[in-house]
Structure 1
């Protein structure tokens, strides 16, 4: 299964809870956005984004998100959620997610999220800091080509 998440530098393990199932006996579609959120926060922890937000009052705001459901997930199961950056600009980035069911040994869901950096004190968009971009590139060297747009 690890090869299903190749290229995803952060992998979050999430157990499926009984209460996440709906009347059709599979995980409700809304729950996947919580899974994505958990994976996103793990990625943010990996680059120190939340600590930087505390110091600078500049942090991430979710601009848009989407999900593609491929296979139903049921309880009991453990999911592996891979997260990575697929696009990087001066003030935003797009994250990609891939969810793999351990029970099925297959990809069940994929998704994206556009995240915009926002200065909460000034109430306006803000640039990604060079240190965050550097940490993203260290986790995903292929992002180096985008890093020049963040100056």
Structure 2
């Protein structure tokens, strides 16, 4: 398998992540062969993304404004590099790749205990008005959170 198109240099890309969220592969996430079901990767990305937003303070923006804005996933991609098995200890790594007017492109990397890359991914989140369903530009504070 080649390097996904959103990665120019795997070594540099891997080193550019600073956010890591630990998790353990649960039995319910595996199939009859003992390896992680392919749909679970997206749940791991979501878990990493939500905790990333909480830890950088961006979730405060969504909740402190009376719930007027909500984040939605516009697209999500996963590339499977290495099999993952029950009870493995993993880290979901998340980073901001690009900040748009009302969207943010995130990159994801899941590594095992040996720091081997198991999954890579990318996706776009868009901030929408809960009332109109239309995109809402990032506030200056939100941009600061995303750039941190």
TM-score category of the 2 structures, normalised to the smaller one: 0.7 to 0.9
Given the alignment of the two structures, is residue 107 of structure 1 paired with residue 117 of structure 2, yes or no? yes
**1:11 is matched with which residue: 15, 20, 24?**
20
Structural RMSD (CA)? 1.7
Q: Could you give the per-residue CA deviations for residues 48-85 of structure 1, whole angstroms, max 9, x where no partner exists? A: 22221123211211001010001100112100111001
1:37 corresponds to which residue?
Answer: 46
Superposition misfits of 4+ residues, deviation over 3 angstroms = none
Given the alignment of the two structures, is residue 127 of structure 1 paired with residue 130 of structure 2, yes or no? no
2:55 corresponds to which residue?
Answer: 46
Q: Partner of 1:125: helix, strand, or coil? A: coil
Q: Distance in 2 between matches of 1:76 and 1:123?
A: 40
The offset of 1:116, in angstroms, is: 0.5
Residue-pair matches, total? 135
Output aligned runs, 1:72-151, within 5 Å: 72-102=83-113, 104-137=114-147, 139=148
Q: Distance in 1 between matches of 2:135 and 2:94?
A: 23
Q: Distance in 1 between matches of 2:59 and 2:33?
A: 37
Distance 1:34 1:106, change over 3 A: same
Q: Distance in 2 between matches of 1:105 and 1:83?
A: 15
TM-score, structure 2 normalization: 0.84
Q: Distance in 1 between matches of 2:48 and 2:117?
A: 16
| Stretches of structure 2 lacking an aligned partner (at least 5 in a row) | 1-11
Q: Partner of 1:37: helix, strand, or coil? A: helix
The offset of 1:5, in angstroms, is: 4.9
Q: Partner of 1:36: helix, strand, or coil? A: helix
The offset of 1:4, in angstroms, is: 8.6
| Stretches of structure 1 lacking an aligned partner (at least 5 in a row) | 140-151
